[in-house]
């Protein structure tokens, strides 16, 4: 898809992408599509839109197909890379029901490992269960690609062009489970699930989450 115009108005971008103008505004406001405000008006760069279209991936295929820089990444800590490699070797081609326990020394980048763990392993959406609300919010911010200080941007694990199509993260806050449909990571805390089982987990199909990560599992007794 090419165009002689470098910058498009919302109407032009809507036509260019074959999506509704309302949806276009929603994506722009959420940071899920490359867009800039010029003189207080949304404008869309055709080259960036083309890249966004070319790398746009389904939730199910994102972690399997996105190009990630992990093992040779000097910005990642050695325990993170070692743990990721062991997880990859353990889960790749393994039965879905396999379970792994990872222990990291304090200060070795647990949140970063949560971020990279699904890469090349998960074949769908990832549920992350944290021990409390504070850690949940911190982890959500760390995974949020719209946050300029997020893990992805600090470490260059993903190329910028790939981050226009994910990975997206959300939390279970609104009571409306459909907010999770367009997200790669869903982050919650164990208290929320334990006190509202019918409100949350029972509403998801059995195969809705392909990977479940329990962060700091030692904080709560196993059910």
Question: Residue 216's closest CA among 162, 152, 119, 139?
Answer: 139
pLDDT the model gives residue 5: 62
pLDDT the model gives residue 2: 47
pLDDT the model gives residue 223: 40
Report pLDDT digits (tens) over 167-178: 999 998 766 677
Task: Give the CATH architecture of domain 61-219.
Answer: 3-Layer(aba) Sandwich (3.40)
Name 81's Cβ contacts closer than 8 Å, sequence gap at least 6: 70, 71, 73
Count of CB atoms situated within 10 Å of the CB of 97: 5
Domain positions in the chain are 7-56, 61-219
CA distance 39 to 43: 9
Rg for the chain (alpha carbons), in Å? Answer: 19
Q: Are 31 and 168 in contact (CB under 8 A)?
A: no
Instruction: Identify the sign of the CA torsion 208, 91, 214, 182.
Output: negative
| Furthest C-alpha separation in the chain | 60
Collapsing DSSP states into helix, strand and coil, what is residue 41?
Answer: strand
| Rounded mean pLDDT for each run of 10 residues along the chain, 223 residues in total | 72 86 83 87 91 68 86 96 95 80 90 96 93 94 94 94 84 76 92 76 86 77 44
């Amino acid at each position: 898809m090419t165009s002689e115009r470098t910058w498009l108005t919302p109407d032009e971008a809507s036509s260019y992408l074959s999506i509704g103008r309302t949806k276009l505004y929603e994506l722009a406001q959420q940071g899920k599509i490359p867009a800039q405000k010029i003189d207080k008006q949304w404008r869309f760069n055709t080259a960036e839109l083309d890249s966004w279209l070319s790398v746009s991936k389904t939730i199910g295929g994102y972690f399997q197909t996105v190009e990630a820089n992990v093992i040779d990444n000097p910005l990642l800590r050695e325990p993170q890379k070692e743990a990721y490699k062991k997880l990859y070797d353990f889960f790749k081609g393994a039965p879905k029901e396999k379970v792994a326990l990872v222990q990291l020394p304090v200060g070795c980048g647990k949140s970063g490992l949560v971020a990279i763990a699904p890469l090349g392993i998960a074949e769908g959406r990832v549920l992350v269960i944290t021990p409390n609300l504070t850690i949940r919010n911190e982890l959500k911010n760390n995974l949020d690609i719209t946050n300029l200080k997020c893990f992805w941007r600090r470490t260059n694990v993903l190329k910028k062009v790939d981050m226009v199509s994910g990975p997206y993260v959300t939390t279970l806050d609104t009571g409306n489970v459909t907010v999770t449909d367009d997200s790669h990571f869903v982050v919650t805390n164990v208290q929320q699930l334990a006190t509202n089982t019918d409100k949350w987990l029972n509403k998801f199909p059995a195969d809705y989450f392909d990977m479940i990560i329990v962060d700091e599992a030692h904080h709560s007794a196993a059910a």
